[in-house]
Amino acid sequence: MKPYLLVEWNDNVTDAVGWMCLYNTVNGYADGGIRMHTGVSKEEVQRLATVMAWKHEACKPRSSGGCKAGIRYDYKAPDAEEVLERFIVAMMPYIDAGVALAGDLGVPFSTTRKIYAKYGREIPLTKTMKKNNQILENMRAYNVMLDQEIQGFSLNNCITGFGVAWALDEAWKSKQGNKKGRVFIQGFGCVGASAAQKLVELGYNIVGVSDALGVVECQDGLDVAELIANKNTFGEMDRSKFKDTYTVKPNSEWLDVDCDILIPAALEDVINKDNATKVKASLVVEGANIATTKEADEIFAEKGIDVVVDFVANLGAVRAYHSVIFGNLERDCQVVLDDIEKVCRGNTRKLFDYAEKENMFQREAAYKIFEPTACDPLEI
């Protein structure tokens, strides 16, 4: 099935270019995030929208289709929020018809919420959903829940990363039983940082982390709590707070860190045909969407490296949103987190069991297990 709709936007103030891709809808509804960085492309947005469609299928019960948007612009630029606002305004006809665009890489969800509020909108819904008072009540309660603190994070900033950690733990147990492994995390934004904290709680050793500025390594284990406490809003760690036992390396050496488990938790295609042979880990857990290319998958299959694919590992925020909005879960943070743990672990077990039974690489197995089928028209 091809994407249902692809729209291009050109900013009339800067050289920013953006795309919105709607892969499919369920009952006229679809959702996904808006990302912003200088390398965004039309092809990337299409691939991300496809992943979102499979992610919704993995989230069962399925209540939304998949979409994604991307803006080719520097998210650190002083006018980045103004560019984002103009993009959202341009997409408003689709948003009002039931295409819910939230935050993603380089675009905080809180910023999209602020822009929607400025134009008299809340979380985007279809016309039918807007007439359902229970959905409206659940949506407002969910907005409040997102800001509640969970172990030093807002729920919004930990819900995906915790899910990644639980998926990792389930996959590692299938490989090694109760023996814990050494983890390297590429990317230390909300997903990478919260996954690191949860993994430490689960008994794993975080031996390395990278951010936009470089790599920090300690085979005896990094002090994750201290790294989180001293990072900025862009996920960059304060080098002045590093311990003497830490080794600092350039980002070109991020795959040189010896580890058992690798979490790519930042940009797309970071593991590719040029570097996949350097992966030392026996398990890759995709905290970021489309972190691994097709060519890298082929190398992993040959080397016997297992993968928890993106739409199985990082579905936490999507699952939580729909479970609360559509009344499938109690509006309570702990109930939501318990549900995400159950879903992430269950889907990971299903994935690994199916791949082993069918003698199939995990990516191929995941696309078979969670293939979406529905595509309804938008509500105009």
The residues, ordered by sequence, that sit 6+ positions from 346 with a Cβ below 8 Å of its Cβ are none
**Contacts with 219 (C-beta within 8 Å, 6 or more apart), sequence order:** 182, 207, 258
Structure tokens, 320? 């939580």
For residues 125 and 28, what is the distance between their CA atoms, to the nearest angstrom?
9
- Is residue 68 flagged as an active site residue? yes
CB 69 within 8 A of CB 42: no
Cβ-based neighbours of 244, under 8 Å, separated by 6 or more: none
How far lies 138's CA from each of 141, 145, 324, in Å? 5, 10, 6
Q: Sign of the CA dihedral 148, 149, 153, 158? A: negative
Report how far Cα 249 is from the mean position of its chain's Cα atoms.
26
| Strand ranges, E, within 218-361 | 247-249, 261-264, 283-285, 306-308
**The one catalytic residue among 2, 60, 68, 179:** 68
Distance of alpha carbon 68 from alpha carbon 61, whole angstroms: 20
**DSSP-assigned letter for residue 9:** E
Q: Crossing angle for the helix pair 155-176 and 133-146, nearest 10 degrees?
A: 80
Catalytic residues, by residue number, are 68
